[in-house]
Structure 1
């Protein structure tokens, strides 16, 4: 049964037991002036980083020693260093909270050229009108752990080989048509007709992004997942679709939380399940 809490994560996280979660997947406010309903996203940079360290300290406490913390952080063209400043605040110095074990690039939109020289553009991005900057089509997902030694299920989160001859050519495949996906994840948003009705949050991530983290974590249905910035509940839906044993979500805004609850009720488990 998912546990969804209404309130400030800095007040609710201290009530959770030590080592009570295996996996954290979250995306905090980015301090880029985004128009959230119940949060001021315009703090000074130093104040913002101190706030991030405060909740990250609690996450370290509640995370098991072999747990993983996947932190999704975006930037803006005028603020490109923000994601790196956050991860440095978590990983540098004698009081470092975490080790950066992997860095993933969540690709929202991309154009590729095929072997026949055809250009294919896929995905969605928010266009900008600028003479200095190009459209920003990706965000970071930082994989943080306590010691940098957590094993992951590379194949569980992998993809089939494009060239099937590689399955027999490379001994490490064991004859299995599955390879590591690597650190670039093309996960587009679902196409929607009305943002207000279908995605009423200014900075949500796709359900599939959380599912990718769950599969890479590799502990299956026994996973205890936490999202301290639940938003409209993509991580809760992912947990239910993957059949996880426990999910805990925290959200400051009552309206976003109501949407999360509604989305959970609408999950059709006949079309989902572990690994799907």
Structure 2
């Protein structure tokens, strides 16, 4: 595990070309979120140009069969940001990536059972508005260099609800596991204190990162990068999946220190503190 403090545009040029198999990250959304250090209020054209700059460095360090999972959300009053960003990375005279899959990360949902009951699950942040409904989902864009990267669909899959389908459908191979599809219900972990347990205004749950790791399908041999590490959720997910070749980059010293403390676990000291040589 290699956690590096600094600007990703200054750190990534020091990484070798083709040295990364998997990128899972969530950059600033440019929606005025109150980060400690980063100013999240750039003009839209300036923000998109900055994204293309760090995305070009990502492309350079990615192997030809690498996957880049990009998590980004919107605001009800600013709904086009995810689409503008993905277009800036995949269109134009020199596109950086091909959009291979689009996943919808569902944070909160209500479903009707076959018995007619309604079940609500997950967490959402309510908004006080007469125009907009509560926003309960974000995007995870799966970007690759050529759009033709095989994935371990069953490795990130779910059991069949109707077990008779296992024998009925030849493509199952007799295995009780099917592709999960592109809708992922992954709620946040419940915490007691945001200031103590999640001192960052825009995080994703560990389960979201683990889903990307399983889907990419290289297991513990994966060489993984997160250029916007935040408080270290992707590093924790990589550790839980047995990945040792992980690099995380974080601009904010306080977030980086918290990431180290999370990885240390308070007892096991799996990794040195941020101020160690």
Q: Report TM bin, short chain.
A: over 0.9
Cα offsets for 1:126-177 (capped at 9, x unmatched): 1000000000000000000000000000000000000000000001101100
- The answer to whether the Cα contact below 8 Å between 1:99 and 1:145 also exists between their aligned partners in 2 is yes
Distance 1:6 1:118 in 2: 49
Distance 2:230 2:196 in 1: 15
SS in 2 for 1:105: strand
The equivalent of 1:249 in structure 2 is 248
Q: Counterparts in 2 of 1:210-249, with a 5 A limit? A: 210-249=209-248
Q: Counterparts in 2 of 1:83-102, with a 5 A limit? A: 83-102=82-101
The equivalent of 2:259 in structure 1 is 260
Q: How many angstroms does 1:210 deviate by?
A: 0.4
Could you tell me the TM-score, scaled by structure 2's length? 0.95
Distance 2:149 2:267 in 1: 32
The equivalent of 1:131 in structure 2 is 130
Q: Counterparts in 2 of 1:74-223, with a 5 A limit? A: 74-223=73-222
Cα offsets for 1:193-247 (capped at 9, x unmatched): 1100111000010011000000000011100110000000000001101011300
Q: How many angstroms does 1:80 deviate by?
A: 0.4
Q: Counterparts in 2 of 1:1-40, with a 5 A limit? A: 2-40=1-39
Structure 1 unaligned residues grouped into runs of 5+: 270-276
Q: Residues 267, 152 of structure 1: CA spacing in aligned structure 2 closer, same or farther, 3 A cutoff?
A: farther
- The answer to whether the Cα contact below 8 Å between 1:241 and 1:267 also exists between their aligned partners in 2 is no
Distance 2:267 2:206 in 1: 14
Distance 1:224 1:125 in 2: 33
Aligned-residue CA RMSD (Å): 1.1
Cα offsets for 1:223-272 (capped at 9, x unmatched): 01100000000000011010113000000001100111111112999xxx
Q: Counterparts in 2 of 1:52-71, with a 5 A limit? A: 52-71=51-70
- The answer to whether the Cα contact below 8 Å between 1:229 and 1:250 also exists between their aligned partners in 2 is yes
Distance 1:244 1:36 in 2: 28
The equivalent of 2:275 in structure 1 is none
Structure 2 unaligned residues grouped into runs of 5+: 269-277
